[in-house]
Amino acid sequence: MAFKLVLAFCLVAAVSCDVSHLRKPYQGQDAEVKILRQDSEVNPDGSYQFAYETENGISAQEQGHIQQINKDQVAKTAQGSFQYTSPEGQPISISYVADENGYQPQGDLPTPPPVPAAIQRAVDYILAHPQPQYQPEQPKHF
């Protein structure tokens, strides 16, 4: 019971945190961004939902709950989405599920930059020269 109370308190604290300190991306540290909409709800059973939207086009929403996996295991399950504009001006929209199988995003995932040549050489070297596996010495019997 105490665990559930602590979990509910942590969820309330996390979900109800003030996001009004968000900054407009790429416009300097001092640019203020207004929160246009912010909603949140945390229930005693551990379920929750939140949503917000800022004046610079960032928005997010998520719902979650505690799910019984088996007799001895529970997992937090969440699903949601977020949207923003990339530095190149491209709108990005991601939806996701996060559960006992991990974080599973889908949508306009930005293409990562290429791996620098020096890093790629280091990775290739490491893969070509793996560390030997530790084999503990077996005790000798006389």
The string of DSSP letters for 42-73 reads: E-TTS-EEEEEEETTS-EEEEEEEEEEEETTE
Q: What is the pLDDT along the chain (142 residues), one digit of tens a residue?
A: 444 444 444 444 444 444 444 444 445 455 788 999 999 999 999 899 999 999 988 999 999 999 888 888 888 899 999 999 888 888 899 999 998 889 999 998 767 789 999 999 999 999 999 888 887 887 777 6
Number of domains in the chain: 1
Asked if residue 40 lies in contact with residue 49, where contact means CB atoms within 8 angstroms, the answer is yes
Residue 141: inside a domain: no
Sheet of strand 73-85, all strands in order from the earlier edge strand to the far edge:
35-42, 48-54, 59-70, 73-85, 91-99, 102-107
Q: What is the pLDDT of residue 63?
A: 97
Query: Is 138 within a domain?
Result: no
Alpha helices by DSSP H, listed for the chain, are: 2-15, 117-128
In the structure encoding, which two tokens stand for residue 34, read together? 């207004």
Confirm whether 140 is domain-assigned.
no
| Containing structural domain, residue 13 | 2-128
